[in-house]
Amino acid sequence: MQQNVKGFSKLSKEEKINWITSTYFSNQKEAKDILINYWNSDENLQKLHDEFIENTLTNFYLPYGVSPNFVINGKNYTIPMAIEESSVVAAASKAAKFWGERGGFKTTIINTEKIGQVHFLFQGNFEKLTTFFNKIKPSFFDDTQEITKNMQKRGGGILDIELKNKTNEIENYYQLHATFNTKDSMGANFINTCLEQFAKTLENQARNFEGFSEEEREIQIIMSILSNYVPNCVVRAEVSCPIEQLSEDKTIDANEFAQKFATAVRIAEIEPYRAVTHNKGIMNGIDAVVLATGNDFRAVEAGVHAYASKSGQYSSLSHVKIENGIFTFWLDVPLALGTVGGLTSLHPLVKFSMELLGKPSAEELMQIVAAAGLAQNFAALRSLTTTGIQQGHMKMHLMNILNQHQATKEEKQQVLAFFKDTIISHSLVVDYLEQIRK
């Protein structure tokens, strides 16, 4: 049985690789070669990547593509996307072109407020705690002046701090619930630093508050941390056109398509099993741009899915209305994004993405990302309600199947020609490939 390794983090990268490959792999050379083949030939660039995280062995690549022809608030964009799933970039591009010819995407920032909380236990009277909080509230702002002065110069900072009573859920549990504007930074480090100072101020002031008993003066801080649920940091993306413009060709009746499309969205609004997959399609577009711009897709995902459940039932993020012959499709989504700080100033491809997008502000990036999510959702629903999702998806996936089975150039040409107008499945492709090889 394999023993735990001691001092692994202190080993050099080469020593880590030697231990990993000798411990877990039967062919040590082959395993080493795989890792080394993904190193960057530029030593300085590789060193930069090595220092992003701990215990780095190599780089894990995702395809980086672009989706052109996005028109957002009258401005043209080519949007970068980092994603491994077939057909996402193609679908977003097709939807962007479709809506670009019909006025493009209209986007609006609804709010940009972010949230952080200090969670603590207080064994005492809530009215006394409220009196104490109101008295010391200015101290929270005073004690964080050094932390917030640069953010304030950029127009951001601490917006407000509230005391929240959560003792109905957990005995003696309270929160300092703070709101922030972090301008063009995602703001996680800024918010967390402020919160930790709030906690110190809370503890110190409580020890000297004459209105508390000895027991009440010992406030117990549990933790101080930002929230990735940002229901007041929301952007809307919308498209609309006369119903008759929904048909690109005579194979689809525009009115029938509009009604089927609207029903599909309505199903996602009321049926959680469908809503999860519906919203996953939206996140295909959102995550791909979030990744390409060096933002935290895990935080975005967590916040978005919480937002989709805000009514008490998980539901669709997008909605449709058909009024007076006009089809309108829109999406409201919470997005806490940054265009300064973090990887945005370090990762060369992130910097490339930002320049490709015209060096957007955080608010502009929110709008771009929301438009990508809406485009992806429209493309998926259009396929589902017309030809079916597999026709386009499996054609894009076909090359992955062929590469998986190490098809030659000639074999790929034969297979692609055979399945041009034929239903595609993994097993059918493999069977045909085996026939060719016989």
The span from the CA of 100 to the CA of 62, in Å, is 28
Residues in Cβ contact with 338 at an 8 Å cutoff, skipping those fewer than 6 apart: 182, 184, 185, 186, 187, 295, 344, 362
Residue 348: its H or E element:
helix 348-356
Run of H or E including 349: helix 348-356
Q: What region does 383 belong to: left with phi over 0, alpha with psi -120 to 50, or beta?
A: alpha
Cα separation, 70 vs 379, in Å, equals 14
The whole-angstrom separation of Cα 206 and Cα 204 is 5
Active-site choice (280, 305, 351, 426): 280
CA atoms of 183 and 151, how far apart (whole Å): 8
Token pair 């895990």 is at which residue? Answer: 298
Q: Which of 114, 119, 183, 393 is catalytic?
A: 393
Q: Are the C-beta atoms of residues 75 and 371 closer than 8 Å to each other?
A: no
Q: 397 an active-site residue?
A: no
Q: Is 153 a catalytic residue?
A: no
90 neighbors 392 (Cβ within 8 angstroms): yes
Residue of 296, 347, 364, 397 marked catalytic: 296
280 catalytic residue (yes or no): yes
Catalytic residue among 85, 271, 363, 411: 85
Tell me whether residue 412 is one of the annotated catalytic residues.
Answer: no
Residues labelled as active-site residues: 85, 280, 296, 393
